[in-house]
Structure 1
Amino acid sequence: MIETVLGPVSPEGWGPTSTNEHLLTDSRGLARPLPDGSFLDGPPRLETWGDLRWNWMSMPDNLTLDAPDTAAEELAAARAAGLHAVVEATSWGMGPRHADLPEIARRSGVHIVAAYGSYIDKTLPAGWRDLSEAEMFGLFRTALTDAVPGTSFRAGLLGLLGTSAEITAAEGRALRAAGRAAAEAGASVSIRLDAAARRGPEVAGILTATGLAPERILFCNIDKVLDLGYVADVVDTGAVVEFAFGSDHSFGGGIRDHTDRERLDFLGALVAARPDAAITLSCSVWTKGQLTRYGGMGYGHVLTRIVPLLAGVGVDDARLTDMLVARPVALLDRTETPG
C-alpha cells in the first residue's frame, strides 16, 4: 500500500507522480543578500522579476510557500494536466507543515505522500543536530509506522534528507538512522546531494550498509550535476535518480541552474548510456516564483511541456511510463512485514 496523507491507497491504477515537490515550506534560512548587502522585497512581481531571476535566493519571501489555498489551487491545475500524485518532501530545516496537507489533498484531488526527514545541517535547529542516532531512528520509525508527529497519517517515505559537500556528523547520523528505519518499515529514502561534491555513491553505500535496498534510495535533483560519468556511477549503485525540470535561475556570482534543454539532452544521453537506469521526474517546486500565479512553470510543467519532448531524446512510451508511474510506485509501495 502507498501511505498518503488521507490514508493508505492501493497502488493499483496509480497515475503520473512527481517524486519531489514542496507545497508548504519556509527556506528563508537559505536567503543570500545582494552584493550590496540588501534583500529584494517580496512577493515576486513583474517589476522585480529580472532581479529575482538573477538573484533567486535574495528575496526571502520567495523562499516561502505559506498559503494552503494557493497550494490546493496550483495542484488542482496540475491535476487537470494529468498529475495523479506528488511526494511532499519538506523536511525539518525547511519549515514543514504536515498537519495542513490533508486538506490540500482533499481540495486539489491530488494524492499527497508525505516524506519525513531532516535537511542540511546549517538549516536545522540545534535541538535536531544534537540528537543521537538512536533518537533520530526513533523519530523516523514513529513517522513511518505510527504517524507523522502532529498528524494522524504515516509518512510514505523518509526524506528529503540533505547532505552538505562535507557530510556533517548530524547528517551522517540522519542517513544511518533513516536507512535502518526505512529498511525495517519497507520504505524508501530520498536524498538531496550538494552539487559542490560528488558523494552519490558514498551516500548510497552508507544507506545500503544499514540494510536498505539500493532501489529504495532516491537521489533527487540529480540534474544539478550534469556529469555523465558521475551520474552513471550513481545509477550503477542500483539507486533511483530524479530529474527536476522547470527552474532556470541564477544565484549570484555566476552560479546558475541548468536549462531544461540541457536537462533533456543529458537525460537522453544517460538513457542511451544506461538503458536500465531507474529514473523519476519532478518539478521540485519550493519557491513562490515557481508557481504559475507568480510567472513560474508550476507543478504541471513536466506533464504539459517536458513529456512531449522526451521522445526526441530517446525516451519511448514504456520508459516514460516507468519514469512517471512504475518507478514512483516501486519507491512508495510499502513492503513492511508484520512484526
Structure 2
Amino acid sequence: MIPSVRGPISPDNLGRTYMHEHIFVLTPDIQQNFPEEWGDEEERVADAVYRLRALAAQGVHTLVDLTVPGLGRYIPRIQRVAEQVPELNILVATGCYTYTDVPLYFHYRGPALTPLVGADVPDPMVDMFVRDLTEGIADTGVRAAVLKCAIDKPGLTEGVERILRAVAVAHHRTGAPVTVHTHPGSHTGWQVKRVLCDEEGVPPDRIVLGHSGDTTDVDHLSELAEAGFILGMDRFGVNVETTFEARADTLVEMCRRGFAERMVLSQDASCYIDWLDPNVRAFVPDWHYGHLADDVLPYVRERGVTEEQITTMLVDLPQRYLAGHEE
C-alpha cells in the first residue's frame, strides 16, 4: 500500500501519475510576517481545488507533490485541498531542499558536532525523515511516500552531501523511493551515483533524477538510463532557457532509443509559487498542469511515440517505483 494524503492506496489505483509537481511552493518566513503577499487563504485553497479538478478531468489519477522543508511544505493546507478533490490521489514527500548548505537549524546538530565531542553523532535528519515516512508528518497522520533532496549547479557541497547521505539512510530503513532534483547540464547525476549508489548502496532504479529533461544531451541521458536510473522528464512548460520543441524532441529521441521504461513525465508546476513575481508568469504561459496532456503528448505522438510507451512512462513505471514503499 502506498501512503496518500487521504490514506493508503493500492498501487493498482495510482493510474496515470504525474511524478514531479507541487501545489504550493512558499517561503514560510515571508508568508508568516508579510501575510498580504499570500492574500486570502480561502481563495488560495479554492483556486488549488479548481486547478486540480481540471487536472483530474484530463484523466490524471495521481499527483506526487514533492514540496519538502525548504519549499514551504504545510500538510494541513494540502489536506484541505485533497478532501475537495477526491478523484485525485495526492502523494507527499519528506526530505530537505537546498542547493548549498543545510538549514541553520542543523548547523550544530548531528555530524556537525562530531569534531567538537570527538565521537560520531547521528544526523537528526534521518529520524525526521523516517518518522514522516512511517508515522506521519507532524500531527496530521499523513505519511510521506517519497524522499526528496537536491543537487544543482553548485555541485556536491558539504551540505548537499550531508542531506544525500541522510536520505540514503532513511531509504534503507523504510524502502521509500528517492527523487533528486538535479542539474543535468553539470552532469550532477554522476555525483548522485557516487554518493547514493556506489557509497550508500541505494539501487539506481529506486532513484528518479529529476529535471533530466533540462538537457538535450541524449547521449548523457542514455548513459544515465543504462546505469539504471529513472529519468525525470518533468519540467514541460518551463521554457525559459530552452524551448518546447527541444524538450519534446529529446523525449521523442529517448523513446526512439528504447528508454521509455526509464522515464517518467511531469511539469514541476504549482498552483502558487512565491519565488516568482506574478508578472514573470507571463513569460512561461505553458507552465501549468494541463500542458502535458494538451500539448506535449499530441506532439510526441505525431513523432512516433506510441501509446504503449506513454502508458509505460505515466502508469507502469510510476507504479513500480512507488510500490517499493514498505508499510
Q: Report the TM-score range of the alignment, normalised by the length of the smaller protein.
A: 0.7 to 0.9
**Structure 1 residue 218, shift from structure 2 partner:** 0.5
* 1:223 is the counterpart of 2:213: yes
* 1:125 is the counterpart of 2:125: no
Question: What is the identity, as a one-letter code, of the residue corresponding to 1:212?
Answer: V
1:173 pairs with one of 152, 156, 162: 162
**Structure 1 residue 311, shift from structure 2 partner:** 2.2
Residue deviations 1:211-230 (CA, integer Å, cap 9, x gap) = 32211101111111221122
Question: What is the identity, as a one-letter code, of the residue corresponding to 1:175?
Answer: L
The residue aligned with 2:255 is 271
The residue aligned with 1:56 is none
The residue aligned with 1:11 is 11
Q: Give unpaired runs (5+ residues) of structure 2.
A: 30-35, 112-122
1:214 pairs with one of 177, 197, 204: 204
**Structure 1 residue 297, shift from structure 2 partner:** 4.5
Q: List aligned pairs for 1:147-226, cutoff 5 A.
A: 147-208=136-197, 209-226=199-216
Residue deviations 1:25-55 (CA, integer Å, cap 9, x gap) = 11599xxxxxxxxxxxxx9xxxxxxxxxxxx
- Give the whole-Å Cα distance in 1 for the aligned partners of 2:221 and 2:77: 36
- Give the whole-Å Cα distance in 2 for the aligned partners of 1:224 and 1:129: 32
Question: What is the identity, as a one-letter code, of the residue corresponding to 2:90?
Answer: I
The residue aligned with 1:88 is 65
Q: RMSD between aligned alpha carbons? A: 2.8
* 1:232 is the counterpart of 2:209: no
The residue aligned with 1:24 is 24
- Give the whole-Å Cα distance in 1 for the aligned partners of 2:142 and 2:24: 17
**Structure 1 residue 282, shift from structure 2 partner:** 0.4
- Give the whole-Å Cα distance in 2 for the aligned partners of 1:72 and 1:82: 16
The residue aligned with 2:117 is none
**Structure 1 residue 144, shift from structure 2 partner:** 1.0
CA contact 1:2–1:10 (8 Å) conserved in 2: yes
Runs of 4+ in 1 over 6 A off after TM superposition: 289-292
CA contact 2:256–2:305 (8 Å) conserved in 1: no
TM value normalised by structure 2? 0.81
Question: What is the identity, as a one-letter code, of the residue corresponding to 1:330?
Answer: R
- Give the whole-Å Cα distance in 2 for the aligned partners of 1:248 and 1:295: 9
Number of aligned residues: 297
The residue aligned with 1:298 is 288
Q: Residues 259 and 168 from structure 1, CA distance in 2 versus in 1: closer, same or farther, beyond 3 angstroms?
A: same
CA contact 1:195–1:225 (8 Å) conserved in 2: yes
Q: Residues 226 and 77 from structure 1, CA distance in 2 versus in 1: closer, same or farther, beyond 3 angstroms?
A: same
Equivalent position SS for 1:12 = helix
CA contact 1:129–1:170 (8 Å) conserved in 2: no
CA contact 2:252–2:304 (8 Å) conserved in 1: yes
Equivalent position SS for 1:108 = coil
The residue aligned with 1:100 is 77
Question: What is the identity, as a one-letter code, of the residue corresponding to 1:69?
Answer: A
Question: What is the identity, as a one-letter code, of the residue corresponding to 2:220?
Answer: Y
Question: What is the identity, as a one-letter code, of the residue corresponding to 2:7?
Answer: G
- Give the whole-Å Cα distance in 1 for the aligned partners of 2:146 and 2:53: 23
TM value normalised by structure 1? 0.79
Q: Residues 261 and 121 from structure 1, CA distance in 2 versus in 1: closer, same or farther, beyond 3 angstroms?
A: closer
**Structure 1 residue 185, shift from structure 2 partner:** 1.1
- Give the whole-Å Cα distance in 1 for the aligned partners of 2:143 and 2:152: 24
Q: Give unpaired runs (5+ residues) of structure 1.
A: 30-42, 44-59, 251-255
1:321 pairs with one of 293, 311, 316: 311
Q: Residues 228 and 28 from structure 1, CA distance in 2 versus in 1: closer, same or farther, beyond 3 angstroms?
A: farther
**Structure 1 residue 193, shift from structure 2 partner:** 1.1
- Give the whole-Å Cα distance in 2 for the aligned partners of 1:195 and 1:27: 26
- Give the whole-Å Cα distance in 2 for the aligned partners of 1:140 and 1:264: 35
- Give the whole-Å Cα distance in 2 for the aligned partners of 1:130 and 1:270: 45
- Give the whole-Å Cα distance in 1 for the aligned partners of 2:11 and 2:5: 15
Q: Residues 206 and 21 from structure 1, CA distance in 2 versus in 1: closer, same or farther, beyond 3 angstroms?
A: same
Question: What is the identity, as a one-letter code, of the residue corresponding to 2:174?
Answer: A
- Give the whole-Å Cα distance in 2 for the aligned partners of 1:167 and 1:219: 15
**Structure 1 residue 18, shift from structure 2 partner:** 0.6
CA contact 2:62–2:89 (8 Å) conserved in 1: yes
